[in-house]
Amino acid sequence: MLSINKSLAVIALALIVGCSDKDSVNSTTVNSIPQETSQAATQSSNPVAQKPQTSNSQVNSSQNQPATSGVDYLKPVNDTFVIPGKRIGLITADTTRADLVKIHGETNLKDDVVLRGEGTVSFPVTKVNPTTPGALTIFWTDESRNKISHVAGFGRQWKTLEGSLGPGTSMSGLREILGEFKLNGFAWDNGGFVYLEGTNLSKYKDKLALRLNPGENAFTKNQKQFAAVSGDSIFSSTNPNFKPLDVRVSNMIVTFDKNISPGMF
């Protein structure tokens, strides 16, 4: 009888141990599943862990950006810096009229014809953003409007990258940038043009022309001083007769072609 009781006790103990091991395995398995799920959820909510997605519309948008001849279309259009001989904002020597449409839009362009040389030479032109501070006029070599002759008619937003001079710059401000310079007298065809030779910007003498004019009331208020610096003569910028005339840069002419001098216009 004692032997039977011992046997039953051994069997009961074995069953208890077996159940305990099974519960341990189940517990481990069950506990491991939430850990894996939690890890996956963490990865999906972590923006660093995810691979960036690029939509088809983004790819197409990038691929369809218009290209221009020698022009980086992705640069800001509000670039109004001038590097004589190299670029005027986004405009370069290779820019065509078709490129201007891509840069500025057709509605901001106006084609015309301008006479020069006392009416003996005509230039096809395209006026960009006319009547605005960002205006400029492109003179083409012919009616195809595929080759730039020179650029003029700059609005006050345009400034040279070096020296930051442009339309509206005062004569005293110009002296600070150029140093002492010489210019033609006023009141004739080539009146007010500056000679860049011997100045701080002499390297641009074949690429940039600056024209100065007195203020609106200079002739009526200061007739004597105006007459003293007028006519087909060359004057120094230090001439005291310029001081009361409110002389400022009225126009710039910029060229890209070494064979086309701004002094020709």
pLDDT of residue 7: 46
| 17-21, 44-48, 78-82, 124-128: least confident range | 44-48
Summarised one tens digit per residue, pLDDT across range 49-101 is: 444 444 444 434 434 443 344 444 434 457 899 999 999 999 999 999 999 99
Which one, of 190, 168, 160, 166, lies nearest residue 246 by Cα?
168
More confident residue, 37 or 93: 93
pLDDT of residue 120: 78
The number of angstroms, rounded, from the C-alpha of 203 to the middle of its chain's C-alpha atoms is 23
Summarised one tens digit per residue, pLDDT across range 199-229 is: 999 999 999 999 999 999 888 999 999 999 9
Which one, of 200, 207, 212, 210, lies nearest residue 254 by Cα?
207
Identify the helix (H) or strand (E) that includes residue 172.
Answer: helix 171-178
- The distance between the two most distant Cα atoms of the chain, rounded to a whole number of Å, is 147
DSSP letters along 57-111, please? Answer: HHHHHHHT---BTTB-TTS-TT--EEETTTEETTB-TT--HHHHHHHH-GGGEEE
More confident residue, 118 or 38: 118
Task: Name the β-bridge partners of 184.
Answer: 234
What is the pLDDT of the chain when averaged over all its residues? 78
